[in-house]
Structure 1
């Protein structure tokens, strides 16, 4: 399964799954398999394998090891330079100026490192980013950074910020239990204001779709930078009956242009093939 998270594309080896996802961090686990921790991000300064490599090895608790250039045939698929020790691999992406460190809790079995490393690709924050995690997929506009990622039974909540603008992606399940016999519009009227922490106006788009909005507070219009004010809000809630899920996408703060907002809603979807 391919995971797209915070700019990084990586193939999850068979038998493993994401156990932790955060800003610039992924942890993969599997039964009777070494834990894999990936830390990544844009370079603040150009990566030096000798200077920075020693620092990463110390942070990983394996200062006794040494990084060396890896130039095996299969590494030619990787879009950058690859360095390795016994349990640590470091990729310096060539064009996008990013660095990834992959740490295995034990020496990986044959093929595991190749599966992960040969699948890698990086998208900087300055571009549109694709996300694919668990059973949801979506995109974020340039310069929106991950603020919050909460994965709980029945709810995935992700928030992104760009200055005073905020995007919220909310996925709720199972929908039939949440709705408890209600149709979608009354359920939204009962729950959306509580979920978003403010009074929301709603308009029915269809039996399975509701448009949401809220005007900014008078003080926000005068002093938008002042903390504690209510910014403008727009969004959409969708019931996906065939997947038994509810998807909510809300924008707060200075709103995106219409074409960008439409792209957000179009790309936010459930992955039908995902098995829970």
Structure 2
């Protein structure tokens, strides 16, 4: 176990990929399948990942990655000496089910060969290409290697952690990220699955400016204009969550309603509301679609959704 994993270093987790990040590192570039971490001195680590199917040959995919990267950077897979700390981090990853193929890459300036690696995690069916940005200071190289050694990939057949920018939640692995936005005062992540379940998580704050003296339910009626909350059924959820919903019909009637054309199908939803972080933030979980997530899934999402 690395020093980072043994401490309270925050864990970045996104779309099936995660790692502990040192203090001062921030995900300054974030896409559905990519992250670049930087600190006050510039880039530290880039990671891009994708699902794989069937037999996966590292050598073949490394050659493909090399051809793509050569457009912007020199790329070599042999004949280059890589930092011992970086190679040690790859060896530690192999103890957690990864296979690794290291390479060296050089930026457009061509000043130095930087370490990189193509990783494959067979259990989760995910491949990751890593580009590292080492520093001259030995302690910063140790920090980089320790962070890399904590990288993990997570399969879709289990719940996955999502943790970024101070919010954290566990979601079913069957959900796919559709869109996301992290603007000051308003974070939003939107997910779908094959059953067309539509799940949206939001974090808003400061809460007092959003609420303006109103209750959470009153605020929600104005904020969620696409759903009619006036006829919603209200209940108390787990851990201080308030739940407003128009439930899905069950059994035979539920099956019939899901087959109706969209224009005839009544809108069904479940909306969770909670004040968090000493009541300075508003957390919301909204589920819509022809059919809900399995029983208990919505409650588990609400229980795990928090400001950290």
Which bin holds the TM-score, normalised by the shorter protein?
0.7 to 0.9
Q: Are residues 73 and 186 of structure 1, via their aligned partners in 2, closer, same or farther at CA, if it must alter by over 3 Å? A: closer
Deviation at 1:177, TM superposition (A): 1.1
Alignment length (residue pairs): 265
Q: Which whole-Å deviations, capped at 9, do the CAs of 1:31-69 have from their partners, x for residues lacking one? A: 213253211122134332332112212222366422359
Q: Which residue of 1 aligns with 2:75?
A: 65
Cross-structure match for 1:187: 219
Number of the residue aligned with 1:100: 128
Q: CA deviation at 1:204?
A: 6.2
> Are the structure 2 counterparts of residues 229 and 2 from structure 1 closer, same or farther at C-alpha, using a change threshold of 3 Å?
same
Deviation at 1:176, TM superposition (A): 1.1
Whether 1:3 aligns to 2:12 is: yes
2:278 to 236, 242, 260: 242
CA distance in 1, matches of 2:126, 2:258: 40
1:1-276 matches, within 5 Å, as 1-61=10-70, 64-67=74-77, 72-78=87-93, 79=96, 80-86=98-104, 87=114, 88-104=116-132, 106-107=133-134, 110-163=141-194, 164-191=196-223, 193-194=224-225, 197-200=226-229, 201=232, 203=234, 205=236, 209-214=241-246, 221=257, 223-224=259-260, 226=262, 231-240=267-276, 242-253=278-289, 254-271=291-308
* Distance in 2 (alpha carbons) for counterparts of 1:160 and 1:5: 13
SS of the counterpart of 1:54?
Answer: helix
Partner of residue 252, structure 2: none
Take 2:302 and 2:13, find their aligned partners in 1: how far apart are those partners? Answer: 18
Within 1, Cα distance between the matches of 2:100 and 2:264?
47
Alpha carbons 1:185, 1:204 under 8 Å: kept: no
Q: CA deviation at 1:119?
A: 0.3
- Which residues of structure 2 form unaligned runs of 5+? 1-9, 105-113, 249-255
TM-score, normalised via structure 1 length: 0.83
Deviations 1:43-97 (A, max 9, x none): 1343323321122122223664223598944433212122222232211124323
Deviations 1:157-210 (CA, angstroms, capped at 9, x unpaired): 11111121111111111101111222333222332x32xx2212263649x743
- TM-score with structure 2 length normalisation? 0.75
Moved more, 30-39 or 120-129: 30-39
Question: Shift of the alpha carbon at 1:214?
Answer: 3.3
Note the residue ranges of structure 1 that are not aligned, 5 or more in a row: 272-276
Which structure carries more helix by proportion?
2
Q: CA separation in 1, counterparts of 2:125 and 2:135?
A: 27
CA RMSD, 1 decimal: 3.0
Measure the CA separation in 2 of the matches of 1:241 and 1:15: 22
In the aligned structure 2, how far is the partner of 1:26 from the partner of 1:178? 31
